[in-house]
Chains A and B, each alone.
Chain A
Amino acid sequence: GIQVEQSPPDLILQEGANSTLRCNFSDSVNNLQWFHQNPWGQLINLFYIPSGTKQNGRLSATTVATERYSLLYISSSQTTDSGVYFCAVFSSNTGKLIFGQGTTLQVKP
Chain B
Amino acid sequence: EAGVTQSPTHLIKTRGQQATLRCSPISGHTSVYWYQQALGLGLQFLLWYDEGEERNRGNFPPRFSGRQFPNYSSELNVNALELEDSALYLCASSARVGRNQPQHFGDGTRLSIL
- Give the residue of B45, B88, B108 whose beta carbon is less than 8 angstroms from that of A98: B45
Residue on B with the closest CB to A90? Answer: B100
- Inter-chain contact B104/A42, CB cutoff 8 Å: no
Residue A41 lies at the interface, judged by CB distance under 8 Å to chain B: yes
Residue A12 lies at the interface, judged by CB distance under 8 Å to chain B: no
A96 partner residues in chain B, CB cutoff 8 A: 33, 45, 48, 56, 58
Q: In the complex, which of the residues B35, B43, B56, B107 has the most CB atoms of chain A within 10 Å of its own CB atom?
A: B43
Q: What is the 8 Å Cβ interface bit string for chain B, positions 85-101, against chain A (1 contact, 0 not)? A: 00010101000011011
A98 and B45 CA atoms in complex are apart in Å by 7
> What secondary structure prevails in chain B residues at the interface with A?
strand
Residue B29 lies at the interface, judged by CB distance under 8 Å to chain A: no
Residue B72 lies at the interface, judged by CB distance under 8 Å to chain A: no
Q: Which bracket fits the contact residues of B? A: 20 to 34
Q: In the complex, which of the residues B45, B50, B58 has the most CB atoms of chain A within 10 Å of its own CB atom?
A: B45
- Inter-chain contact B33/A50, CB cutoff 8 Å: no
Residue on B with the closest CB to A101? Answer: B42
B55 partner residues in chain A, CB cutoff 8 A: 95
Q: B: which residues have CB within 8 A of A?
A: 31, 33, 35, 37, 42-43, 45, 48, 50, 55-56, 58, 88, 90, 92, 97-98, 100-105, 107-108, 110
Q: A: which residues have CB within 8 A of B?
A: 30-31, 33, 35, 40-45, 48, 50, 86, 88, 90, 92, 94-99, 101-102
Can you give 17 A-B contacts (C-beta < 8 A)?
A31-B101, A33-B103, A35-B105, A40-B107, A41-B37, A43-B105, A45-B104, A45-B105, A86-B43, A88-B43, A92-B97, A94-B45, A95-B33, A97-B33, A97-B43, A97-B103, A98-B45
